[in-house]
Structure 1
Amino acid sequence: MSGILSTLANCLPSREKPYCGGPSVRIGVLGGGQLGRMMIQDAIDLDARVEVMDPSADAPCAHLTQRFVQGNLLDAKAVEAFGTGLDCITIEIEGVSVPGLEALERKGVRVVPKPAHIALIQDKGLQKQFFQKHNIATAPFALQMANGDRSALGYPVVQKLRRGGYDGKGVAVLKDASSSHFEGKDAHCVLEKKIDIEKELSVVVCRRSAYDTKCYEPTECVFDPRGNVVQLIVSPASITPEQKATCNALAKQVVDAMDYIGILAVEMFLEKGTGKIMVNELAPRAHNSGHHTIEQCATSQFGQLLRVVLDLPLGDVSPTRAKAAAMVNILGSPSVAKGSKPLYRGLREALGKPGVYPHLYGKSTVSPFRKMGHITMVGDDRDEVVELAKEVLASVACEAAP
């Protein structure tokens, strides 16, 4: 019996481990964009030192972090050198060197998420095979080269590059056999049956252990069809209690099957007509669909990620600060010249409205559909919050400065 109790005790998260804070707690982040920037803001409250590596000298985190290293995130030796001596390291972008993180893990650095899980999620084909293996509902699919036979699933069909796609890049809808967005490219792709989508949903789930896992409320995601980039996020999603339970169950099924540690965004489709909910893709980091948690929830997604990284108990995910929230992305204008200096129009008027919270990312240049910031609206009435979000969306723009 004592052996069983000892084994169980080793599986449970420590309740007595002290937390010191201060300069002795060194967290590394691969990627210096807006996600790292918002994580730093939460790290201040935990008195944790955040150090950042990014290829761009003027990354949004560069002037906020206590140590900034300019380097290639896909260079294993550079990643290993950056992370050596840190207590823990996490990511804010998928495009990182897994071998570099594995080397750090061997040196005793706590890596969140695990390198093997990052490797799986970096490849959309491996994601789909994982869903299939673990009976996780997902759209029918096939794996092939970009210029291979695309007729197996019928038309229309969605073609995705297996690696490297994000924010609408690397995805195309093929209407017939004559079209391929990636024609002639020596690239591995996923073909998916095109789902008749009623709603696009997302669940941000955080897992510290099998005994400490929490899901935020499912959110509803509205995309800008011109750039296939998220335009509007609404919490809670307008779905039935049964559908909400299904979303959360799917998210938990994913992290449990993977034995995942960290924060994970599980993107889902609600199929029109059938009401079936299926998993689309995963993101192994804080996510656009969770930004509203800063203002709406007791613990934000960034605070939650820090708790996992530091092996601290997860916080409350309840929407204790507001019953409803909506978030709009401030995207670069479609007509803006790439590399222009940004100018934010309509921001002053938006900030004059109650319940409006701006977040500008500090990016030095703007490009079409580039995420330059976001604005969150909160309130007690979901419909009123959504209407306010639509007003803000129509009035705020990021253009080129004269």
Structure 2
Amino acid sequence: MNFFSSDFKLGILGGGQLGKMLLYETRKWDIQTKVMDPSPEAPCKIACNEFVLGDLLDFEKVYNFGKDVDLLTIEIENVNVEALEKLEEEGVKVYPQTKALRIIQNKATQKLFYTDHGIPTAPFVRFAYTSEIKDSIANGGLALPFVWKSAQFGYDGQGVKVVRAVEDLEGLPNVECIAEEMIAFKNELAVIVARSSSGELVNYPVVEMEFHPEANQVEYVICPARIDENVAQKAIDVALIVSENIGHVGLLAVELFQTQDDKILVNEVAPRPHNSGHYSIEASYTNQFEQHIRAILGLPLGKTDSKVAGIMVNLVGAEGHTGDVIYENMESILDMQGVTPHIYGKKQTRPFRKMGHVTIVDEDMARAREVAQQVKETIQVVSK
């Protein structure tokens, strides 16, 4: 099939920043795109060929959206899988496939999948409702502290809370959830695996993630991870096992814990481009967004090596600021060598909302990390 400057139409469910960065690549290759998102101000709106306003969890909206595209992909996994299954039955290619989405969409199902396939992960208990947890603690079935995770619809640190006392359960939604043992880890790592519809498989280098202690969001992504080579290979091996068992087409970002004794445990996965791969736009031979397009179209996969050390700094809304966004000191960070800001196009900021990211590249990792710290301390995402 001719994908370039043709009638071929790629559908993308979700019009946020990940979709916007996917569109950098489709526009580069002149691939026709149709995007659906529930927000009339979605970042993708300005860059796609056709934009549809719609709820991604609405069966009819998703089904009707997908009927006239040649291939359908996602930039967020919270979508109506039943509609995608019907589209698959009618001959529309859906990547990642619905069987993979069903495993990944629900964190409890995802964790059970790891257990069933012998994939190392933190011990956990599944609950139909959060309200059941107090009884489990009282009866000795669950020990404090633990990490509470909503089974569905968690995103960007939402739907996750560290529970150190029974009182910490107050105010949590009464939904299906898991209580996961807290892991004493050295590092949080990630590996992105790309699998093409033709069967080709590649992986990116292991990255290291530093998180904001309150928001549970990634602050820095560092590539390559500053870890022993043997540990890095173990992380890659585990990520490839996860990818093989899920059998996805497209990207799979595998988030991992490196324990104090250097074991590797799977935290969770995302079947799409991921925050841990943003550094690749400037630092890699083939960035993650181009790789995802190559994979779902069955094109040869690109080289995943890094050209230079890369660090990504997330730009999130400052605490105490809600409203029309202002990026303070943008000129100052542009004056720093090897610094590239990416602004997502969201007009309204709020505390910890992802508004953009900045990539820092350098031949020297230590120098790149110093500049990343300067960037973090310099630029501010505030409101008018």
Q: Please tell me the TM-score bracket, short chain as reference.
A: over 0.9
Q: Partner amino acid for 1:35? A: L
Residue of 135, 158, 178 corresponding to 1:169:
158
Q: Partner amino acid for 2:311? A: A
2:361 matches 1:378:
yes
**Where do 1:112-127 residues align within 5 Å?**
112-127=95-110
Instruction: Please say if residues 161 and 189 of structure 1, whose CA atoms lie closer than 8 Å, have aligned partners that are also in contact.
Output: yes
Q: Partner amino acid for 2:102? A: A
2:357 matches 1:367:
no
Residue of 81, 85, 99 corresponding to 2:82:
99
2:336 matches 1:353:
yes
After superposition, give the CA deviation of every residue in 1:116-153 in whole Å (9 maximum; x if it has no partner): 21121110001110100111110011101212214534
Q: CA deviation at 1:178?
A: 4.3
Residue of 305, 320, 335 corresponding to 1:335:
320
Question: Aligned equivalents of 1:333 and 1:179: distance in 2?
Answer: 25
Measured at CA, do residues 60 and 153 of structure 1 come closer, stay the same or move farther in structure 2, by a change above 3 Å? same
Measured at CA, do residues 87 and 126 of structure 1 come closer, stay the same or move farther in structure 2, by a change above 3 Å? same
Question: Aligned equivalents of 1:52 and 1:367: distance in 2?
Answer: 25
In structure 1, the residue matched to 2:288 is 301
Instruction: Please say if residues 197 and 296 of structure 2, whose CA atoms lie closer than 8 Å, have aligned partners that are also in contact.
Output: no
After superposition, give the CA deviation of every residue in 1:337-378 in whole Å (9 maximum; x if it has no partner): 2xx010001211001111111110001111110000000000
Question: Aligned equivalents of 1:182 and 1:218: distance in 2?
Answer: 36
**Where do 1:30-49 residues align within 5 Å?**
30-49=13-32
Residue of 132, 141, 145 corresponding to 1:152:
141
SS of the residue 2:196 aligns to: strand
Instruction: Please say if residues 31 and 54 of structure 1, whose CA atoms lie closer than 8 Å, have aligned partners that are also in contact.
Output: yes
2:190 matches 1:202:
yes
Question: Aligned equivalents of 1:378 and 1:164: distance in 2?
Answer: 34
Q: Partner amino acid for 2:313? A: V
Q: Partner amino acid for 1:155? A: L
Instruction: Please say if residues 198 and 298 of structure 2, whose CA atoms lie closer than 8 Å, have aligned partners that are also in contact.
Output: no
Instruction: Please say if residues 110 and 309 of structure 1, whose CA atoms lie closer than 8 Å, have aligned partners that are also in contact.
Output: no
In structure 2, the residue matched to 1:260 is 248
In structure 2, the residue matched to 1:4 is none
In structure 1, the residue matched to 2:217 is 229
Structure 2 residue runs of 5 or longer lacking an equivalent are none
In structure 1, the residue matched to 2:275 is 288
Question: Aligned equivalents of 2:170 and 2:258: distance in 1?
Answer: 26
Q: CA deviation at 1:209?
A: 5.2
Q: Partner amino acid for 1:33? A: G
Runs of 4+ in 1 over 2 A off after TM superposition: 150-153, 176-179
In structure 2, the residue matched to 1:7 is none
Percent identical pairs in the alignment equals 38
Instruction: Please say if residues 147 and 182 of structure 1, whose CA atoms lie closer than 8 Å, have aligned partners that are also in contact.
Output: no
Question: Aligned equivalents of 1:182 and 1:275: distance in 2?
Answer: 36
Question: Aligned equivalents of 1:182 and 1:132: distance in 2?
Answer: 30
SS of the residue 1:101 aligns to: helix
RMSD: 1.4
| TM-score, normalised via structure 1 length | 0.91
Instruction: Please say if residues 3 and 31 of structure 2, whose CA atoms lie closer than 8 Å, have aligned partners that are also in contact.
Output: no
Instruction: Please say if residues 153 and 192 of structure 1, whose CA atoms lie closer than 8 Å, have aligned partners that are also in contact.
Output: no
After superposition, give the CA deviation of every residue in 1:169-201 in whole Å (9 maximum; x if it has no partner): 111111134431555x43111111101121111
SS of the residue 1:306 aligns to: helix
Q: CA deviation at 1:107?
A: 2.0
